[in-house]
Amino acid sequence: MGAMVAARNVDTGVTTPVQTNDAGVYTLPSLIPGKYQLTAEHAGFRKAVINGVTLEVGGVLTVNVPLELGQTTESVEVSGGGDAG
């Protein structure tokens, strides 16, 4: 089972969750343009949080969310965005 990834629009508060495949790949095709916070969680790993991800109209982002081994009660927070491409 893959990790759970969620994109939360910081302006509207709407969260869109998705599960990764076995290779860790995920797609969130129906997001509206805006600023997002991405989170990723998987058993046995620290929760990862990425702030400051901006999706523009017609934009496609690639955001690799690093998961580190650790307690599930710990989290790793990263500021910055994805690579437009």
Classify residue 85: in a domain, yes or no: no
Mean pLDDT rounded to a whole number for the chain: 86
- Residues of the domain holding 33: 4-80
**Listed residue (20, 12, 61) closest to 40, CA to CA:** 20
Among the residue ranges 5-14, 23-32, 75-84, the one predicted with the least confidence is 75-84
Q: Is the pLDDT of residue 35 over 80?
A: yes
Classify residue 51: in a domain, yes or no: yes
Q: Is the pLDDT of residue 24 over 50?
A: yes
Classify residue 41: in a domain, yes or no: yes
Classify residue 38: in a domain, yes or no: yes
Residue 38 β-bridge partners = 7, 50
The token duo for 85 is 């491409």
How many angstroms separate the CA atoms of 23 and 77, rounded? Answer: 22
User: In a 3-state reduction of DSSP, which class is residue 5?
Assistant: strand
Classify residue 50: in a domain, yes or no: yes
Q: Model-level pTM?
A: 0.79
What's the CATH code of the domain at 74? Answer: 2.60.40
Are the beta carbons of 80 and 66 closer than 8 angstroms? no
Q: What is the number of structural domains in the chain?
A: 1
The token duo for 83 is 């690579």
What is the model's pLDDT at position 65? 85
